[in-house]
Structure 1
């Protein structure tokens, strides 16, 4: 009975002491991850007989006399916390000055202090001494992202100009002209060889001596007689180049000189 009475008296004394002092209470430590939101609770008290006419809540960071980041009376918010601090306190009804910090960043890791200012029966200012140390950790995904193999992206090539296209067409025309000239020379040679073979075969069938090998004069006269036809065929082909014409004429000239 005596022990219970002592406990009741002790509780009443503590209640009386708390009811007649200015106090601010905050949690010692809080922790969250970047990108999330967190509430920093703040409750305060003042003597029962004290009747303030206005209550202003301030928040500091770093240290007891650190930089102000929020002020209800001036509606001030530090630029680093602009649109990220939300005031949740009810100073007149519940005697609270709680704030919520949204979109947490790693640099928000520091100690925060709640400060209460009142006006009325004498201006009063009191603040929590240890403050609340907030730790903001880096966000880590629980699901692993698939690894994307890096690829070499070549720079986009500009479209070919009109000059480049013309040069390419001329080059292609030269190549095709040389090919056509080579085919024509080959066909002429094959025609001569076929004519010689046919005449030789006819002589053999008749029991005569083999047709003698055509002389240079015969080749010359054959080419001279068929030159107009060959030239008309060459002129009909737009891809023939002047170099092959000159070579063909010089070949005829050398043959005539050898005669």
Structure 2
């Protein structure tokens, strides 16, 4: 009965419990960011924090539930049963453990339809019975389309400069692998020229010496 009456309380009354300046010793509420934005295909985190004045039962049976689109909208998550809305299958994780009073809802692979309002609802058992309350305004999530830049697909298929440089360097090494050191090659060429010159000049000098010896006056 207490749970039904609590949900039927006027929004203004519940809003007072969500006010940061109110006396939390006598109030209850759920704090969420008013607005968040994410990029299509990316992920988003919706943090939440809740507070209450009641004494918890030995087994508080805390549950975190999430709704979307409006205050009395569909449930998309239930921490106790593990229920996840079909639209968020494999895309939603709640980072929270009882008896923590804060946590984070993570939504992955954001889609255009995810752009709506999200409400966190708290269920817990006190010494006086079960209590249920949720955020009044929720969190408005805005999804921004992923931008595509001209030539993006071409750039993603190109090799990085370091890889290209490495390939060129390697090719150069392979081409010159069997070649001698340039300085050694130059030295060999020089020696070859000198030897060839000596081979050509030596017979001439020998012939000149022979002719000179033949023409010299006899003693």
Aligned to 2:119: 113
- How far does residue 144 in structure 1 lie from its aligned partner after superposition? 2.9
- RMSD over aligned CA atoms reads 2.0
Instruction: Summarize the Cα distance change of 1:145–1:65 in structure 2 as closer, same or farther, 3 Å threshold.
Output: same
Q: Is the 8 A contact 1:61 1:113 kept in 2?
A: yes
| Distance in 2 between residues matched to 1:89 and 1:113, nearest whole Å | 16
Instruction: String of CA shifts for 1:192-233, please: whole Å, max 9, x gaps.
Output: xxxxxxxxxxxxxxxxxxxxxxxxxxxxxxxxxxxxxxxxxx
Which protein has the bigger strand share?
A: 2
Residues 1:50 and 2:55 aligned together? yes
Task: Select 1:41's aligned residue among 40, 47, 53.
Answer: 47
Aligned to 2:181: none
Shift of 1:46: 1.1
> Per the alignment, in what secondary structure is the counterpart of residue 87 of structure 2?
helix
- Checking the alignment, whether the CA contact within 8 Å between 1:97 and 1:114 is kept in structure 2 is no
> Could you tell me the TM-score, scaled by structure 1's length?
0.48
Give the direction of change, closer, same or farther, for the CA distance of 1:142–1:130 in structure 2 (3 Å limit): same
Q: Which sections of structure 1, spanning at least 5 residues, go unmatched?
A: 1-13, 148-259
**What is the CA–CA distance in structure 1 between the aligned matches of 2:98 and 2:34, rounded to whole Å?**
21
Q: Does residue 1:123 correspond to 2:123, yes or no?
A: no
Larger radius of gyration: 1
Instruction: Give TM-score scaled by structure 2 length.
Output: 0.56
Matched, 1:137 2:116: no
Aligned to 1:59: 66
Q: How does 1:148-167 map to 2 (within 5 A)?
A: none
Query: How far off its partner does 1:19 sit?
Result: 2.5
* Alignment partner of 1:27 out of 33, 51, 65: 33
Structure with the bigger percentage of helix: 1
* Inter-partner Cα distance in structure 2 for 1:103 and 1:145: 21
SS at match of 1:107: helix
CA gap 1:16/1:37 in 2 versus in 1, 3 angstroms: closer
1-structure distance, mates of 2:22, 2:44? 33
The Cα offsets for residues 146-177 of structure 1, whole Å up to 9 and x where unpaired, read as 79xxxxxxxxxxxxxxxxxxxxxxxxxxxxxx
Post-superposition offset of 1:16: 8.1
Counterparts of 1:211-222 in structure 2 under 5 Å? none
Give structure 1 regions of 4+ aligned residues with deviation exceeding 4 angstroms. Answer: none
Query: Given the superposition, is the C-alpha separation of residues 33 and 15 from structure 1 closer, same or farther in structure 2, using an over 3 Å criterion?
Result: closer
2:104 counterpart residue number: 98
Name structure 2 gaps, 5 residues minimum: 1-19, 155-219
Q: Greater relative contact order (Cα 8 A, min sep 6): structure 1 or 2?
A: 2
